[in-house]
Structure formats: C-alpha cells, structure tokens
Amino acid sequence: MNSEFKRGLKDGLPIAIGYFSVSFSFGILALQQGLTIFQSVLTSLTNITSAGQFAGLQIIVAGGTILEMILTQFIINLRYALMSLSLSQKLDKKVTLWQRFIMAFANTDEIFAVAMSHQKSLTMSYMAGLQLLPVFGWTAGTGVGAVASSLLPDSLCSALNLALYGMFVAIVVPVARKARPVMCVVLIAIVLSCIFYYVPLFQSISGGIAVILATVIAASVGAWLFPVPASEKDMDS
C-alpha cells in the first residue's frame, strides 16, 4: 500500500470517529422528520456537511422551495470554496483536474485543517486516504442512527438529537470567547433568529429564508463593525 495513502488513512481515522458520532444524531433526526433510511444515508453520502444537511432537512420538513434550498446551501457552504482555493496552493503538481474535483467533494472543515498542517505537498494518494474514512464514518453513522431511531425509545432519541446542537455550540463558543467580533456576530444571529421565530410580523417568513437573512445580516454587520486591518490581510496572504 502506498505510504502516502497509509499516512492519509492514519490522519483521517480520528475525524471518522468524530463524524460517526455526530452523523448518528443526524440519522435519528432525519428519520423522525420523515426521511427513509435510504434517503438519510444518501443525503450524508452526497453532502458530507453537518450544518448544510441540518438546515436542508429543516427546509424539506417545512416544505420550502428549491430556491430557498439553493440559497441556504450556497451561503452555509460558501466557506468550502475558500478552503478549496487555499488547499489548491499545497497540491502536488502532478494532481490532475479530475483529481481536484474528487478532493473538493470531501473537503470538510476538519479534513481541510489536517491537510493544511501536512508537512509535504498534497498528493492524490494522501488526500484519498485522508478523506476515505471520514466519508465512510459520516455515511455509516447516519445509517446506524437512522436504523437505531426505529429501535430506541423516543425519550432516548430526543436526548440524542441534542448532540447535533451540542456540536454547533462546541464549535462556536470557544471561538466566540476569544474573539469579540465572533461573539458580536453570534449574538446578532441569535437575536435575528428569535425575531423571525417569535415576532408575529415575521412569522410568515419561511425557515429557509430566515436562515439566509440572519446569516447575511449578522455577517454584514460584523464586517462593518470589525473590519480586518490591511496589515493583517497582508500578513495572512
């Protein structure tokens, strides 16, 4: 077996374990919301994005339009385009265009972080190994969670649903505590979400559009209040 592929498998194993536990909760939630086991597994296999899948599931349940789904997924997953651009700077010169497409398909936050910390140029063999187990873990976890949803008591399934929200909190809170701009954006998004949900005037707005508006407004206000100095941009580049 190629040494680069083996190194990728080793680096991807911890990610796969974490993905399995999180997607297990998504599988339970998806089945409870009316999706079949096959639909749940297919969603995870073709998306591999927790936030995008969660938001997409809510739009499906609410009977949202295709346009809402497209806009929501575009905004939530836009960061992957930026990650792919950054990752392309580390790719080995032998990587072909089609291989880049394959890498981009499974370029998640965690995989991107591990790949960027890799000391060598990124080969197709290494990226294939790095991405293989996380994709399998995410898909398998969803399938196991969907199957378990029909076997476990309703009270336990409801408790496990909180794991998905707990993952989001675990991602956001540590960063928000260290960075005031992030805290500001998070609070604005929370306030806007509550307004769209509880204020009668805005309750006619669908869930998908509410997510889009809250995301765009909060991010825009954060960029306006806390612009990145030109010196920092130069250092990052």
Q: Rounded to two decimals, what is the model's pTM?
A: 0.72
Q: What is the DSSP letter of 77?
A: T
pLDDT of residue 234 exceeding 80, the answer is no
Chain position carrying tokens 């500001």: 184
Is residue 189 within 8 Å of 218, Cβ to Cβ?
yes
- Check the CA dihedral 61-65-68-73 and report its sign: positive
How far is 96 from 162, CA to CA, in rounded Å?
Answer: 42
Higher pLDDT, 162 or 42: 42
pLDDT digits (tens, 9 = 90+) for 115-166: 988 888 999 999 999 999 999 999 999 999 999 887 877 777 666 666 656 6
Q: How far is CA 77 from CA 38, 157, 163, in A?
A: 24, 28, 21
pLDDT digits (tens, 9 = 90+) for 82-96: 788 888 889 999 999
How far is 60 from 40, CA to CA, in rounded Å?
Answer: 12
pLDDT digits (tens, 9 = 90+) for 205-216: 876 678 778 878
Higher pLDDT, 119 or 228: 119
